[in-house]
Structure 1
């Protein structure tokens, strides 16, 4: 009889992420180094466990009009259908059409950092995205409707007590526009997400927050479908400028 335990495997996954985030918090004294290390923990988790059609990286996002987002700690983007991803001097630049989700990764959650994350997310959602008709054997499909870009916040701890509760909800609902945060994780306590059917945020306190968040993210990505067909020539116009 098999000695494998799914519960134990999922517990090990969460414990690994939580231990790595806790080690970063205790070991690194320089804020920049601590931030980079924390981002790398989340990127490693997502790159390891998301389907291979997705890639996670720290990046800027650009549109065909030449507008750039702020630098985003964790961008989840398409690697199956996107024709190009720029890399320049170690910096990654992703076309807006390729983006599925963006996250700000910090050590702790508080009102200031939630507002900062909302600003970062808005800088991506405000970019222009192209969508071309899609040829197929029987003709042409019309341009794909643009999917919503997911936005969120990833932390290890929270300055609030309780970590997931009224204070976090007030911060999240302060920006219901382009900066809306759809989901996030406070790895030491739980995760949150916006429930569209109930038109409100739900907060889940649990023993394995990182794993629960990962499953919630995968489920939401499944409903996002596939990125639109990018208008490469709209970007190519910049070759003559």
Structure 2
């Protein structure tokens, strides 16, 4: 006889486990840089565990074929299907802009300063030049994939505001330029938000912050489809022999 599983309890348990882990890091890791690194690694591990295998998650710089790079991004969600290389230099990753689905800044708290900081990081990625070339398959050739808007967001453990998504939050988000737009975010102990097409925000309860964030992020990733096939010839022009 089949038995039912309480999915809500599983989701809430997942959130409490993550929240406990991050609060432990905040309490016992006193060095700001080390605390930030540990928090980023926790989110990288969590997203890598629960997102499908096609999505890679890392801290990295994003680069384009001209050699221009973004600011360092705490979390980059990317795909290597049509991008045969991710550059490594002294332990630092450089990911081609064409491979990127989404980027996130990770901070301890939600506030105006951190929203602006995450927005500037988003702008540094969206300003990069992305290429797209036809894709050859067994039945012929697909045309170049249209470029999609890279998802950007902010992940924090708590908020400096009460209520979390009240007027100060809306004013800070409303002041962002188009390329700085933050589509989605998670405040783990308070709730998550999603920017809707009409410019308003959909938010979650505090207890469902993590699963709301994950489901809404996953839907956005699904809607983006597959990253474009990069023009490797443009990247190879950095070589003297090509």
**1:96 corresponds to which residue?**
97
| SS in structure 1 of the partner of residue 116 of structure 2 | helix
Q: Which moved more, 1:49-58 or 1:136-145?
A: 136-145
Q: Which moved more, 1:198-207 or 1:73-82?
A: 198-207
CA distance in 2: counterparts of 1:6 and 1:81, whole angstroms: 36
TM-score (norm 1): 0.95
Q: Which moved more, 1:70-79 or 1:135-144?
A: 135-144
Are 1:239 and 2:235 an aligned pair? no
Aligned residues: 240
Contact 1:54 1:80 in 2 (8 A): no
Render the CA deviation track for 1:91-134: whole Å, top value 9, x for unaligned.
11100000000000000011011001000010000000000012
CA distance in 2: counterparts of 1:222 and 1:176, whole angstroms: 25
Render the CA deviation track for 1:199-232: whole Å, top value 9, x for unaligned.
3222222312112101110011000100001111
CA distance in 2: counterparts of 1:218 and 1:235, whole angstroms: 30
**1:215 corresponds to which residue?**
215
CA distance in 2: counterparts of 1:74 and 1:172, whole angstroms: 20
CA distance in 1: counterparts of 2:147 and 2:191, whole angstroms: 30
**2:13 corresponds to which residue?**
12
Contact 2:158 2:189 in 1 (8 A): yes
Residue 3 of structure 1: CA displacement? 6.5
Runs of 4+ in 1 over 4 A off after TM superposition: none
Render the CA deviation track for 1:145-174: whole Å, top value 9, x for unaligned.
001100000000111111122211111111
**1:178 corresponds to which residue?**
179
Are 1:191 and 2:192 an aligned pair? yes
**2:227 corresponds to which residue?**
227
Q: Which segments of 5 or more consecutive residues in structure 1 lack a partner in the other structure?
A: none
Q: Which segments of 5 or more consecutive residues in structure 2 lack a partner in the other structure?
A: none
TM-score (norm 2): 0.95
Residue 5 of structure 1: CA displacement? 2.8
